[in-house]
Structure formats: C-alpha cells, structure tokens
C-alpha cells in the first residue's frame, strides 16, 4: 500500500483541542473524512490514554498552526465526483 501525506508523523508532539498534549503514534485516512491521528497522552486526571483525534483538533506542541499540505494530483486518486478516494493507515510500532 502506498504511503499517504499527513501533517503529523509518528513521534511528533502535538497539543490537543482539550488542552492536553501527547505524541502521535499512528494515522488513518478514510474517504470523505479528514485524517485522524492516534495520540498517546495523559489526561488532566493523570490517566494514560490512547485516542483517535481529527486533524483539526490538533496543533504542533508549543503552539502554532499545522502547515498546510499540498497534495499533488498524482498522489490522490479522485472519484467520479472529484472527491479524494484515499484509504490508508500508517502507525508506529513501539
């Protein structure tokens, strides 16, 4: 399976919309949905957790906005209605 482009890679430190921060351990992309990332983090209560977060709910640790990706036409197969037709999964093994 071909790799797909993501804003975050396994091992990247990210800040969550909820205020916590963690480390990206995987990513998935499904047709018609934004990329989701599996993030390992500690909740405000001190509980260790792994959870899938949408790309829009994450930012690089330390503030800032994620960089925009420029998908070249050759990297994304398009459906009859012009929507991206990508199904892929990438994860770090630890």
| Angle ∠(78,81,83) on CA atoms, nearest 5 | 45
Secondary structure letter of residue 27 according to DSSP: E
- For the cut 90, the answer to whether the pLDDT of residue 33 exceeds it is no
- For the cut 70, the answer to whether the pLDDT of residue 27 exceeds it is yes
In the chain, where the domains are located: 13-91
Q: Which residue has the higher pLDDT, 42 or 88?
A: 42
Q: What is the pLDDT of residue 49?
A: 94
Q: How far is CA 62 from CA 21, 36, 42, 52, in A?
A: 9, 20, 16, 20
Q: What is the pLDDT of residue 87?
A: 45
The whole-number average pLDDT for the span 35-60 is: 93
* Tally of CB atoms within 10 A around 19: 8
């Amino acid at each position: 399976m071909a790799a797909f482009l993501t804003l975050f890679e396994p091992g990247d430190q990210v800040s969550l919309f909820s205020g916590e921060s963690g480390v990206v351990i995987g990513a998935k992309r499904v047709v018609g949905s934004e990329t989701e990332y599996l993030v390992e983090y500690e909740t405000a209560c001190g509980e260790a957790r792994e959870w899938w977060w949408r790309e829009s709910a994450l930012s690089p640790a330390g503030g800032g906005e994620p960089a925009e990706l420029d998908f070249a036409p050759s990297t994304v197969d398009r459906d009859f209605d012009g929507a991206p037709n990508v199904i892929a999964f990438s994860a770090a093994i630890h």
